[in-house]
Chains A and B, each alone.
Chain A
Amino acid sequence: MFKLKLFFLSIFLFFPLYNFSQVQPTSIALNQILQKKAIEFKNETNFNKAHLFFIKNNWDSTLVYSMKQLISSKNEELMDYCHFFRGYSFREKKLFKEAQSEMHLISNKFILYPLVNKNLGQISLELKEFEKAIYYFKEVEKLPFSNNHGYKISIIYENLGICYLHLNQFNKAEEYFFKSLELQEKEKDLISLIGLNMNIAGLYYQQYKDLQAITFFEKAYNLSKKVNHFESKKNASLNMAIVEENRGNFKEALAYRKESSKWNDSINNQNKVWAVADYEKKYAIAQKQKQISVLKVENKLKDTQRKTMFLSTLGLLLVLSGGVYAYAQKVKNTKIILSQKIKLDELNATKDQLFSIVSHDLRSSVNALKTSNSKLTTSLETKNYNELDNLLNQNSAIANSAYSLLDNLLHWALLQTKQLYFHKDSVHLFSIVQQIEFNYKSLLSDKNITFENSVSKNNFIWVDLDSLKIVLRNLLDNAIKFTPENGKICFYTVETNTNFCQLVIHDSGLGMSQNTIDELLQDNELLAKKKNSEIIGTGLGMQLCKQMIKKNGGSITIESELNKGTKMILSFPKTEQNG
């Protein structure tokens, strides 16, 4: 019988504690204080996190971050807070020893020190160190009453009562219980009131004051009907059942038992519902997880797609730009080819023109020779010997001019096809001029032209001999052509201090206008047009001269006055002395 009672009591005793702890975290006052501190120590991230998790009742995280804060910072105030957090969290996790040691570490300057005491009291109670618990609770009780620190004095009284009850100091227990009852009836906290009533009932029951006990049991039972708290209902009805059982009213006892078991079922149901809800939640989470993984896979797929897309775009772009570049190149090439074609066409036209002029000239020369030869034959037949000399001279003149034309043509062709042999050597200019003149002696005497070679005998130039001869031959030929009878042609050198030797070919001929000079010296490969077929030749000779002079590293300028004469000024590199 007694054993039975004790069993009940142990159930009641813990009830208020449980109840109390539920109220505590929602205490607005405590939260406000913590909030202020959090703002004050904004920079202490660990503290902030610990505080946030504390408010959210996430005890493990609170423990972790408060420990981090303790390691990183030595601020005493913050350390107190952290120890408080840790103590509280340990208590919630039922690690009472650790909770107690943490709480002891808090300095007594701490603002929430009463709360610490209260907590220590509760912890001692849990550890069944009732004497200590009473000491701590008394400390709290000593302080002026206030609701600011997040605890109710009524609860303190109740806890004191429980302690005395355990120490079997029933009078003191009764006194505190009633003090608490008085306050709690004012507060209208039904659930704690039920617990208190049951505690009082338990107190009387232990003293075998059954009647008084029953009154409080019933009171608790009646109150339990008003609340929607299955635990309280179950405990109240169970207690009633035991009471009735002890009184021998088994029928009623059975009814209470049944009610109790009904509430128990409800709790279980609720648990089941919670379990189901939990399961559903888990399922939902799993579902979500699945979705997430699917999304992840999709994302991955998209990512790879994007990558492939990007790469292919890049590749396409590359191909495109390559294509554009190739096209541009092609266009450029086409342009070059086109311009080359135009140039080639021009050159070809020039060549055609040249051929037509040359063949015409040659044809007329040969024709003249033919006519002259037939005349010669006739003269021989008729034995008109006086005519012979004249005709022969004429023939040789024609042959000479035709030969020089052909010679020029040959050299021009060689030059164009780049087959001309070119070998620079030291050349004695005076001798060369003499050699050239030698071939033109008859022509000069025919026109009674005075020829003068005043080239300095010490002049050696560094040129290709044959091309120099071609140049001089052509220029002398021209000079003779344009100089009237009894004229004068003079070759002389002008001393310069440069590395170039200036050779002047001065004739007293027709001369030419500045336009003609410019035309002659124009650096194109087109041949001058034949304006006056009698005097002006193909222009081939002049072209050849210019190219040969250029090839020899020399230059040509022309000074001329109409009807007075022309100066062709050539300059060639001198032979370097001693080298």
Chain B
Amino acid sequence: MDNINVLIIEDTPEQSDTLSKVLLANNYNIAGVAQNYTDALTLFYKNPVDIVVIDVFLDGKPDGITFAETISIVPNAAKPFVFLTSSHDRQIFERAKLTKPFSFLMKPFNELEIIYALEMAVEKFYDQTNVFLSEDQDTIISNDYMFIKKRNVLKKVSLKDILYIEVEDRYCNIITEKEKFVILISLTKISALLDKNKFIRTHRNYLVNSDTIEEIILADNLVILKGNHKVNLSDNYKDFIKKIKTLS
């Protein structure tokens, strides 16, 4: 599991320092701190970024909104973002609102509020609301990552790293090459959210990352994965084999 990278766009160093401290304390990585629009764009494209925290006003200009607008129009580059504002100015808000999904945080804010706002932004951005705060789910799945809230800390796991997923009631065991952990999500949801061509059902309780399959032993009903992980193969789900290009 990796930490979440946050890009901070804030022109007041004091405030960005406080914010950095809070985020670091909550196991977030700081991908960078930009003080103006140009820096922000540079940092955004240079470093891996998962969430952007944007101050609406940079040097008295609403450049924060401009930045949000800029990243929003590039389809795959867009990331979840949170506006920080001390202004109640209505017109600015009306403009900021157009950059959907729109989350914002009023200054001054405390630790809990910024964490909440970041989680909300991720939920809204991936359109999977009421996840982190409900009691029956703690994971959001994007195209590349799983965002998992573990003991009040938001973490991410790259889907590429996952070998297979073992489902057990409301829980799923995620097995990567290096670690193994449990997330809270129902099977229906997880299979709906994951790419069906990449994660293949081999058994009632197993979802396998097809990229990691090394060998399929039909006689033993076994699938051998990277790192010599073995997964059961049931007759009902054997059909996927036809789709796999094999050397014969």
Name A's B-contacting residues (CB within 8 A): 410, 414, 419-421, 423, 426, 428, 430-432, 434-435, 438-439, 457-458, 460, 466, 469, 575
Contacts and interface: CB of A to CB of B under 8 A. Distances in A.
B2 interface: no
18 contacts: A410-B88, A414-B88, A419-B90, A421-B93, A426-B129, A426-B130, A428-B130, A430-B133, A431-B116, A432-B116, A438-B110, A438-B113, A457-B133, A457-B135, A458-B135, A460-B130, A469-B106, A575-B130
B112 A435 contact: yes
Contacts of A466: 106
**Taking each of A431, A438, A460, which has the highest tally of chain B beta carbons within 10 Å of its own beta carbon?**
A431
A475 B97 CA distance: 29
A458 B130 CA distance: 9
A438 B112 contact: yes
Contact of B116 (A419, A435, A457): A435
A421 B94 CA distance: 9
A421 B112 contact: no
A410 B106 CA distance: 13
B215 interface: no
B197 interface: no
Nearest to B87: A421
Contacts of A432: 116
B97 A420 contact: no
Interface in B87-121: 88-90, 93, 97, 106, 110-113, 116
Given A428-B133, A460-B130, A423 B97 contact: yes
Interface in B117-172: 129-130, 133-135
Contacts of A439: 110
Interface string B61-88: 0000000000000000000000000001
Interface residues of B, number: 16
Nearest to B97: A423
Nearest to B116: A431
A579 to B, nearest CB: 11
Contacts of A410: 88
A201 B69 CA distance: 148
Contacts of A428: 116, 130, 133
A575 B113 CA distance: 20
Pick the most buried of A421, A431, A575: most chain B CB atoms within 10 A of its CB.
A421
Contact of A420 (B88, B110, B111, B130): B88
A113 to B, nearest CB: 118
Contacts of A431: 112, 116, 133
Nearest to A465: B106
B110 A435 contact: yes
A435 B90 contact: no
A419 B88 contact: yes
Contacts of B97: 423
B113 A435 contact: yes
A435 B109 CA distance: 9
A430 B110 CA distance: 16
A438 B111 contact: yes
Nearest to A469: B106
A426 B116 CA distance: 13
Contacts of B90: 419-421
A568 B170 CA distance: 37
A434 B113 CA distance: 9
Contacts of A419: 88-90
A439 B116 CA distance: 15
Contacts of A460: 130, 133
Contacts of A420: 88, 90
A400 to B, nearest CB: 12
Q: By CB atoms of chain A within 10 A, which of B110, B111, B133 has the most?
A: B133
Contacts of B89: 419
B195 to A, nearest CB: 24
Given A435-B110, A457-B135, 6 more contacts: A410-B88, A414-B88, A420-B90, A432-B116, A438-B111, A458-B135
Nearest to B85: A421
A421 B130 contact: no
A474 to B, nearest CB: 15
A561 B90 CA distance: 42
B129 A457 contact: no
Interface string B201-237: 0000000000000000000000000000000000000
A434 B112 contact: yes
B133 A421 contact: no
CB-based closest 3 A-B pairs: A428-B133, A435-B112, A421-B93
A469 B135 CA distance: 23
Nearest to A432: B116
A562 B222 CA distance: 73
Nearest to A439: B110
Contacts of B113: 435, 438
B81 to A, nearest CB: 16
A439 B111 CA distance: 9
B23 to A, nearest CB: 16
B112 A457 contact: no
B107 to A, nearest CB: 11
A419 B94 CA distance: 12
Given A419-B90, A421-B93, A435-B116, A457 B134 contact: yes
Contacts of A423: 93, 97
Nearest to B96: A421
Contacts of B129: 426
A544 to B, nearest CB: 14
B58 to A, nearest CB: 20
A422 to B, nearest CB: 9
Nearest to B104: A423
Contacts of B88: 410, 414, 419-421
A419 B87 CA distance: 11
A416 to B, nearest CB: 13
A431 B111 CA distance: 12
Contacts of A426: 129-130
A73 B88 CA distance: 104
A132 B24 CA distance: 157
B57 to A, nearest CB: 15
A469 B110 CA distance: 12
Contacts of B134: 457-458
